[in-house]
């Protein structure tokens, strides 16, 4: 199935985890992809090689280094992208970071950095992509990587929660503003996924069992399961969907504590 054949796609933070899986899946579905990374050139190169191996037909995959929170670097990245591919069809705002800290002790620098990467970055990249979409005159798609923490508060991760809540409004506002120009803007909100961002528990049997005990489906998700949702939203099969967040979380947002009717005494 090559639902993305010939589409030119920029994926931010694609040197590991979900971004890497999205890059591989998109290449498999026929897209030309730019693999953005900030640190870890080896990871980006590994993504490029995996994407090349996954292809079923002709297509290109290039690596582009840039800090998505930096306006100058983002503009330069889009210039390189257009030089390389000629036009852009899809932007995947995937890059994201988090750092635990009690909110009353969080440094301003950490707060600003997390907002910079997770919220300013998607704005800067969306602004560039929208400019090209409008100039090209054939629409386009933006898909943001949000989180279940778009709606579930995450104590000790205040700035992360703020950014994911903010992404919901970025998604809905841009979707409404540009719906008339054939531009769709959506988000995917993963639950607990096995990626490097979760090194604190993925390789620790006890900690992982603790995390998974909260998930109605009883297990953490795989990056490939999230990449599949991105591929759907980027494809023409989602041609009438805009302004939405699709939660791919094994049921985490279903108030799992209510699995038994404890509040009614049954």
Residues found near ligand NAD in the complex (CB under 6 A): 12-13, 15-19, 36-40, 67-69, 94-97, 117, 145, 147, 190, 192-193, 195-198
Q: Which C-beta is closer to ligand NAD: that of 36 or that of 159?
A: 36
Q: Which C-beta is closer to ligand NAD: that of 140 or that of 250?
A: 250
CB of 241 to ligand NAD, least distance (A): 20
CB of 168 to ligand NAD, least distance (A): 13
CB of 264 to ligand NAD, least distance (A): 32
178 in catalytic set: no
Among residues 157, 160, 178, 240, which one is catalytic? 160
Q: Which C-beta is closer to ligand NAD: that of 10 or that of 68?
A: 68
For residues 49, 53, 56, 62, the Cα torsion angle rounded to the nearest 10 degrees is: 10
Collect all residues with Cβ–Cβ distance below 8 Å to 172 and sequence separation of at least 6. 185, 243
Q: Which C-beta is closer to ligand NAD: that of 19 or that of 30?
A: 19
CB burial of 92-125 (b: ≥16 within 10 Å; e: otherwise) equals: bbbbbbbeebeeeebeeebbeebbbbbbbbbbbb
Which segments of 192-257 are extended strands (E)? Answer: 245-248
CB of 61 to ligand NAD, least distance (A): 15
In three-state secondary structure terms, 154 is coil
Give the residue numbers marked as catalytic: 160
């Amino acid at each position: 199935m090559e639902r993305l054949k010939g589409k030119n796609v920029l994926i931010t933070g694609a040197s590991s985890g979900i971004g890497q899986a999205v890059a591989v899946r998109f290449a498999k579905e026929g897209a030309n992809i730019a693999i953005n990374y900030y640190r870890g050139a080896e990871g980006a190169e590994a993504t490029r090689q995996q994407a090349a191996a996954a292809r079923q037909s002709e297509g290109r995959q290039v690596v582009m280094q840039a800090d998505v929170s930096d306006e100058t670097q983002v503009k330069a990245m889009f210039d390189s992208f257009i030089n390389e591919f000629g036009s852009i069809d899809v932007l995947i705002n995937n890059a994201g970071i988090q750092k635990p800290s009690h909110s009353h002790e969080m440094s301003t620098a950490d707060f600003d950095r997390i907002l910079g990467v997770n919220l300013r970055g998607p704005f800067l990249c969306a602004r560039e992509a929208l400019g090209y979409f409008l100039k090209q005159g054939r629409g386009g798609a933006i898909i943001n990587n949000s989180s279940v923490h778009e709606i579930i508060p995450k104590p000790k991760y205040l700035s992360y929660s703020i950014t994911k809540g903010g992404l919901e409004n970025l998604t809905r506002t841009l979707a409404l503003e540009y719906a008339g120009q054939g531009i769709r803007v959506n988000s995917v909100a993963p639950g607990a996924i096995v990626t490097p961002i979760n090194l604190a528990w993925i390789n620790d049997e006890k900690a992982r069992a603790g995390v998974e005990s909260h998930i109605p489906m009883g297990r953490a998700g795989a990056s490939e399961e999230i990449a599949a949702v991105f591929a759907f939203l980027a494809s023409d099969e989602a041609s009438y969907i805009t302004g939405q967040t699709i939660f791919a979380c094994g049921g985490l947002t279903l108030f799992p504590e209510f699995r038994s009717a404890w509040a009614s005494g049954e």
